[in-house]
Structure 1
């Protein structure tokens, strides 16, 4: 993966929310990672860890507190002209978590998908837009009969397919998929993941795939970054993460995934985390994971661990490896 060309560089990205003058919620606190062309980077962690906020900040839906998001060599967080913003929106699209609230119930599927086409391809007439919409529907496993229906007439899985078609309508290079399968039945989740993989191969797409389910992320991700309470704790290749997780938090997440072999499942040791996730507006001193970590040491309460490469292309922030 390191020989590939970088498409996106996230450098020291921070996104803070101010509840009042005294309380600052550090939703994303100084994270850095790269995404290479044609790959899928999985971003995982518990609910509330800041992964969705990171995705929305990268896509400029939230204004970053500080840091850089460099896309194809250009920092997209600096002030830009309306035309430059429009061009960036075309290159970078988003698939949202909830297929029920992300589609306008007043519009037909044809209108929902053609909205982006109309904005970015103004030279196309109505008939040409309609042809393009039908092509997109067929690409995601639907058909032209669905074009004139409304979102409420579809199941959750079908709605998410419509959301994917909408994202593809402007022919993007990079898609941020913000927990696109979290609201779907388990039987439908694999279908959507397989669809995203097929589309990636067919169109050369690059994904940032945000999820809390490590077992599903493995099937689509080339590399995985693990996030806890606003910061990254581990990042490496998908296979490496599953075979040799280094951070105690990653180890705990992986130990919670059931193994279909009952003999192995009975004999393996679960890592049980105690306590609750701390308040991000009042995080613990030093390592943020130390209050729940089974391997916590004295230094963990005093010093924030540094982000370092412990093995080749295997990064971790933990005092155990310093």
Structure 2
């Protein structure tokens, strides 16, 4: 990563815990740190339940952080803010939700759904300007202006997601969290939505946090990728570096499960099958959280939580296999 690039967001030791009852705490996000640079797409991947969607919502302050910082343009998102400051902040950061039907008010026309942000932030001065702006947004996402008078149930899943994208764009944000925006769509539509997001990013200078569990699609849209497991960050690298040379055993297992288009290569490659279930975030394992399913687990893995180390330039991994202080046990077995 070019160090001259501007950091738009700095996430430092971010935690989000939920109190289940008097004795139990669900550690959904438990101390993740990464940066997002202006104009890039940072992919956040992992199995269902790993905490990636909670991380996205906490970054946007839809959830209050339990601990840690989210700095946006150098300002802590979770610091105490006045209503005016919150309003300005909310305009700068928007979200595209996973389920385009559940996130759209079925009682509102598409025109009013898209214009809601315009109305709240006072971005239009007349009804004519409001209509013009909505029509422009509809056309920007590949819909017709006459669609504005219809209701969400009259559209397909792909069209509804385009409406959700138009709603996010309405207030001219700098940063968008796309929370699994294609997982509820047909495969034939997914590429269209991804291509739309890439085009909008190029035209408007947008920065994305793209959350997904489909690693093959993340490869095509992301500049850098972070891999989460059970509330913690396992690995961060450029998209190319991560897919060519994954370091963390969990990342290696995830990538080995991606189907390849060449049948001969698919048959000959080694699949890494992870044994056991993902532990509960209410009672995570001591030390490394992945150790209960890791084929390379050492004694130290149960005692010491691995630190994220820069194994190669801009390639970070949280694994004792790459830490010279602890990997003598593994080397001895080779």
- Aligned partners of 1:241, 1:95: CA distance in 2, in Å? 25
Q: How does 1:115-126 map to 2 (within 5 A)?
A: 115-126=116-127
Q: How does 1:102-181 map to 2 (within 5 A)?
A: 102-181=103-182
- Aligned partners of 1:237, 1:155: CA distance in 2, in Å? 34
Asked if the contact 1:91–1:172 (Cα under 8 Å) also holds between the matched residues in 2, the reply is yes
Asked if the contact 1:93–1:167 (Cα under 8 Å) also holds between the matched residues in 2, the reply is yes
- Match of 2:24? 23
Q: Secondary structure of the residue that 1:147 maps to in structure 2?
A: helix
Asked if the contact 2:124–2:130 (Cα under 8 Å) also holds between the matched residues in 1, the reply is no
- Aligned partners of 2:271, 2:322: CA distance in 1, in Å? 22
2:286 equivalent to 1:285:
yes
- Match of 1:189? 190
Instruction: Write the deviation string for residues 30-55 of structure 1: whole angstroms up to 9, x where unpaired.
Output: 00000000000000000000000000
Q: What runs of 5+ residues in structure 1 fail to find an aligned partner?
A: none
- Match of 1:14? 15
1:119 Cα deviation from its structure 2 partner: 1.1
- Match of 2:101? 100
1:56 Cα deviation from its structure 2 partner: 0.3
Moved more, 194-203 or 123-132: 123-132
Q: Secondary structure of the residue that 1:68 maps to in structure 2?
A: strand
1:266 Cα deviation from its structure 2 partner: 1.0
- Aligned partners of 2:114, 2:234: CA distance in 1, in Å? 38
1:121 Cα deviation from its structure 2 partner: 2.4
Root mean square deviation of aligned Cα: 0.7
Moved more, 118-127 or 256-265: 118-127
- Match of 2:37? 36
- Aligned partners of 1:85, 1:276: CA distance in 2, in Å? 40
- Match of 1:87? 88
- Aligned partners of 2:131, 2:125: CA distance in 1, in Å? 10
- Aligned partners of 1:266, 1:10: CA distance in 2, in Å? 40
Instruction: Write the deviation string for residues 263-315 of structure 1: whole angstroms up to 9, x where unpaired.
Output: 11111100000000000000011100001111111111111111110000000
- Match of 2:298? 297
Give the aligned length.
322
Q: Secondary structure of the residue that 2:142 maps to in structure 1?
A: coil
- Aligned partners of 2:151, 2:263: CA distance in 1, in Å? 45
- Stretches (4+) displaced over 3 A: none
Q: How does 1:131-280 map to 2 (within 5 A)?
A: 131-280=132-281
Asked if the contact 1:118–1:124 (Cα under 8 Å) also holds between the matched residues in 2, the reply is no
Q: Secondary structure of the residue that 1:218 maps to in structure 2?
A: helix
Asked if the contact 1:11–1:68 (Cα under 8 Å) also holds between the matched residues in 2, the reply is yes
- Aligned partners of 1:200, 1:124: CA distance in 2, in Å? 27
Q: What runs of 5+ residues in structure 2 fail to find an aligned partner?
A: 324-334
Moved more, 289-298 or 220-229: 289-298
Q: Secondary structure of the residue that 1:52 maps to in structure 2?
A: helix
1:122 Cα deviation from its structure 2 partner: 4.9
Q: Secondary structure of the residue that 1:219 maps to in structure 2?
A: helix
- Aligned partners of 2:90, 2:257: CA distance in 1, in Å? 38
Pair 1:123–1:135, CA change in 2 (3 A)? closer
Asked if the contact 1:43–1:209 (Cα under 8 Å) also holds between the matched residues in 2, the reply is yes
- Aligned partners of 2:153, 2:25: CA distance in 1, in Å? 39
User: TM-score of the superposition, structure 1-length normalised?
Assistant: 0.99
Asked if the contact 2:29–2:51 (Cα under 8 Å) also holds between the matched residues in 1, the reply is yes
- Aligned partners of 1:199, 1:85: CA distance in 2, in Å? 25
2:310 equivalent to 1:309:
yes
- Match of 2:332? none
Asked if the contact 2:10–2:35 (Cα under 8 Å) also holds between the matched residues in 1, the reply is yes
2:66 equivalent to 1:65:
yes
